[in-house]
Amino acid sequence: MELRPNSESWQVEVGGQVYEASFAELGEWIGLDSLHLEDKVRKGNLRWIEARKVPGLVPFFNAKARGEALPAVVSTTNAAPSDGPVTRDLGESTQSQPVQAETAGQRSDLSSPTASDPNFCEIHPGIPSAFLCETCCNGFCKGCPNSYGGTVKICPLCGAMCKPVTVVHEQRRRDAAMSNAASEGFGASDFFNALAYPFKFKLSLFFGAVMFAFFSIAQSGAGIGGMAMFASAIVCFMLANMMLFGVLSNTVENFSQGHLDKNFMPSFEDFSVWDDVLQPFFLYIGVMAASFGPVILTLIIGSYLVFSSVSSQMNAFQNEVERLPGTQYYQGRETVEQSQQVKRVLGDITKQHDERIGEYNDAASGNSNAVTETTPEEADQIYQMAQENRRKELEAAFGKTQETKDNEFREFTSSLLRLTAPLVVIGAIALLWGLFFFPAAAAVAGYTRSFSATINPLVGLDTIKRLSLDYVKILLMGLVLLVVWAFAGFVLGAIFSPFNLPGMGNPVAKGFSSFVAFYLMAVFACVLGYALFKNSDKLQLLK
């Protein structure tokens, strides 16, 4: 038989003096007859009890009484030996010479075997135990533990806290389930279990889906117009997402703690505005910001740049229109001044044109009066420049031609495409990030219930790292659910297309698709819950 030494220090009271020792040393003292059954001992700062009432020491006393070899104590560290315990005769009382004990430098954990049956009261044998002591592992009936504050129960032997038997058994069941789950691993069976899990609570599934459908349809009221309808649509949007992320956080938290039989819907018995409304909504904001925040930011920046470019182009177009005679923008100007200005511009253009044509003719005929000899190619370029200048001068007076407008539109479209192409690439990368990171952000929101942890990408990345291959499985399962949701929405929209309403869309199709969305969200929450449950040892989630 082997016992592990306790990581906490023990104290022994002999002859009015107190000595410290490790659990391993207490076993040695019993073998050397330095520690008797009636001697007082305690662990740490707990209450003094007789050594015979410590379950871990009972095997040593039994072996000593039968003359057998003492149980071997496995120690992971070797404490520096001191002078060792002083032995005493069997007939020596507890008032004899004090035991010379050493203090262990390092301790290990103890798994103490119980000498008595914890299912029955230690003080009243035959009465089933209602409480179990966490330290001495003894069981007690309802009347034996001392009460503190009405709900806290104190062990009458060692002074440690006692827990109800049902709580202890539930904890042991959860520990066993955690151990088995970790060995099984996360896989397809969990996905099928998640598909069936919401149907275990049919009433919660039905009423939850009805409420979510109502809030979803009510959001369409913003299309009717009016501040009241717009405000009510915002409230319904908040309540709808509160329900979804209330289900998600409640399910993930329950599963991560090993409660695989609890309702996926939050309990509203002790309704709290913060816990049941505001916190789930803020968790929704945190998840969306952490996952799809880059996409939203890219859309905002891209929209600003595109609309700025379009606005500048429209302003330039309006300035050109204002210069065209016959338009409403042209009214209010003096007709006489405009006619004189037009005549003056036309005269200048004609004069410049004649001068340039004359130069071209002189150059073409080889006139010696020409300043320089001009080749036909150069002459053609001069002619084209003259024509271009004449066109610009005419457009300055009468507005742009259709050809110029077409060229400018093509240039504007080309520049717009050059502007939007990088935004499209960045937006696509941000969208992929959002789809990849969303399950991690949702999982963090569920098992932490913390907004700051949810929006912190480092926490999510650490969760992904710990889940490793299981996170890839979560992504694949989430992709399947996303495809099912999109397909169901398409089919329902086609079936109920006659119910399309101006400004409100299709409330009938939206209502039925909300049923599907609520169910799939509950399934996704169960998928995350199973994954965290089976990786609780890696994530250190068990409380």
The β-bridge relationship of strands 72-73 and 2-3 is: parallel
Rounded Cα distance between 455 and 461, Å, is: 11
Angle between helix 507-533 and 469-495 (nearest 10) = 170
Q: List the single range of 405-409, 419-423, 457-461, 505-509 with lowest mean pLDDT.
A: 405-409
Residue 484 has pLDDT above 60, yes or no: yes
pLDDT confidence tier of residue 482, bands split at 50, 70 and 90: very high
Q: Which one has a higher pLDDT value, 383 or 208?
A: 208
Same-domain status, 432 and 493: yes
Q: Identify whether 126 is part of a domain.
A: no
**533 and 487 co-located in one domain:** yes
3-state class (DSSP) for residue 88: coil
199 in any annotated domain: yes
Mean local confidence (pLDDT), 226-230? 77
Is 316 among the domain residues? no
Alpha-carbon distances, residue 335 vs 185, 320, 340, 394, 395 (angstroms): 88, 18, 9, 18, 19
Contact 45, 105 (CB under 8 A): no
| 205/261 same-domain check | yes
Least Cα distance to 21 among 109, 112, 98, 105 occurs for: 105
Q: Does residue 437 share a domain with residue 393?
A: no
Q: Which two tokens stand for residue 437?
A: 């990171």
Q: How far apart are CA 530 and CA 190, in angstroms?
A: 7
Residues 452 and 391 grouped into a single domain? no
- Alpha carbon distance 146, 154 (integer Å): 5
Task: Identify the domain boundary among 88, 113, 138.
Answer: 113
Q: Give the end of a domain, one of 113, 137, 152.
A: 113
Residue 535 has pLDDT above 80, yes or no: yes
Q: 220 with 505: CB under 8 angstroms?
A: yes
343 shares its domain with 268: no
Task: Indicate whether this model's pTM tops 0.85.
Answer: no
The whole-number pLDDT of residue 92 equals 36
SS3 at position 19: strand
pLDDT for residue 81: 36
Q: Which of 145-149, 369-373, 484-488 has the lowest mean pLDDT?
A: 369-373
Is residue 340 one of the residues assigned to a domain? yes
Is 418 a domain residue?
no
Evaluate whether 305 touches 313 at the Cβ level (below 8 Å). Answer: no
Q: Decide if 159 is inside a domain.
A: no
Whether residues 284 and 375 share a domain: the answer is: no
Tens of pLDDT, residues 69-125? 777 654 433 333 333 443 333 333 333 333 333 333 333 333 333 446 788 888 888
Q: Which residues pair with 50 in a beta bridge?
A: 40
Token duo for residue 155: 């062990």
Tens of pLDDT, residue by residue over 252-281, are 888 887 788 888 888 766 667 777 778 888
Number of structural domains found in the chain = 3
Sequence letter at residue 7: S
Q: What is the pLDDT of residue 329?
A: 47
Helix %, strand %, coil % of the chain (to 5): 60, 5, 30
Residue 473 lies in a domain: yes
- 325-358: pLDDT as tens digits: 544 444 444 444 555 555 665 566 667 667 766 6
Residue 56, pLDDT > 80, answer no
Same-domain pairing of 448 and 393 = no
Domain co-membership, 210 together with 288: yes
Q: Considering only residues 446 and 336, tell me which one the structure prediction assigns the higher pLDDT.
A: 446
Count of H-run helices and E-run strands, the chain: 16, 11
Q: 457 and 521: one domain? A: yes
Indicate the residue among 398, 416, 438 that finishes a domain: 398
Question: 93 and 31 in one domain?
Answer: yes
Looking at the fold, whether 393 and 430 belong to one and the same domain comes out as no
Structural domain that includes position 10: 1-113
The pLDDT mean for the chain works out to: 75
Whether 121 is covered by a domain: the verdict is no
